[in-house]
Homo-oligomer: A and B are copies of this chain.
Amino acid sequence: MARGNTRQRIQDVALELFAEQGYEKTSLREIAERLDVTKAALYYHFKTKEDILVGLFHDLTRPMDELIVWAREQPRTLETKQEILRRYQVALADAAPLFRFMQENQATVRELSVGLTFKERMLELSGLVQEPDFAMKDKVRCISALFTMHAGMFFMQNVEGDPEEKHEAVLEVALDLVAQAHGA
């Protein structure tokens, strides 16, 4: 019925399933069945299974890339770092399923071509919120701020409370951490 959008639909379903069950446990048969197409159809749109993941990654990771590009050009002030965190939270929320997937499938993803890229980005980002001459404790604070954001996205679902409120509390804690690292 619908046509040009098959590629997109494949990605949508794939992401959903990858996030839910993991990459290895999700078979192409499953994806195809859920779309009511044959497996062979998937191969018309993507060269391999990994390719589906790579496609997803490229599409959904752009905000994070743009964040990094933007951040690199800013002065390395506390304000910049706090803005990075704010933007990171937004990027995280927008691509939540992908990040959840990345978080929960590290072992699998590690040796996929995409894996390196992701780790590199995290390292890059962590480099942009700390300073080389920081004391170790302050470096840890900055990294912790980043991971607080992650915990905020995933573990906090288990904590009761208004989502908006949780969201803000998470951001505040993270902002505090970099502020403290900057000697506030």
Chain A contact residues, CB within 8 Å of chain B = 19-25, 101, 103-108, 110-111, 119, 122-123, 126, 135-137, 139-141, 143-144, 146-148, 150-152, 155-156, 158-159, 161, 165-166, 168-170, 172-173, 176-177, 180
Contact = CB atoms under 8 A, between A and B. Distances in A.
A24 B108 contact: yes
A152 B173 contact: no
B107 A173 contact: no
Contact of A107 (B105, B144, B155, B170): B105
Contact of A139 (B21, B103, B159): B159
A117 to B, nearest CB: 15
Contact of A103 (B24, B106, B158): B106
A75 B105 CA distance: 38
10 cross-chain pairs, A with B, having the tightest CB-CB distances, nearest first? A22-B107, A24-B24, A104-B106, A104-B107, A136-B169, A147-B151, A144-B148, A137-B169, A140-B169, A140-B173
B123 A158 contact: yes
26 contacts: A19-B107, A20-B107, A22-B110, A23-B107, A24-B108, A25-B108, A104-B105, A104-B110, A105-B106, A126-B158, A137-B169, A137-B173, A140-B152, A140-B172, A140-B173, A143-B151, A144-B144, A144-B147, A144-B148, A144-B151, A144-B173, A147-B147, A147-B151, A147-B155, A148-B148, A176-B180
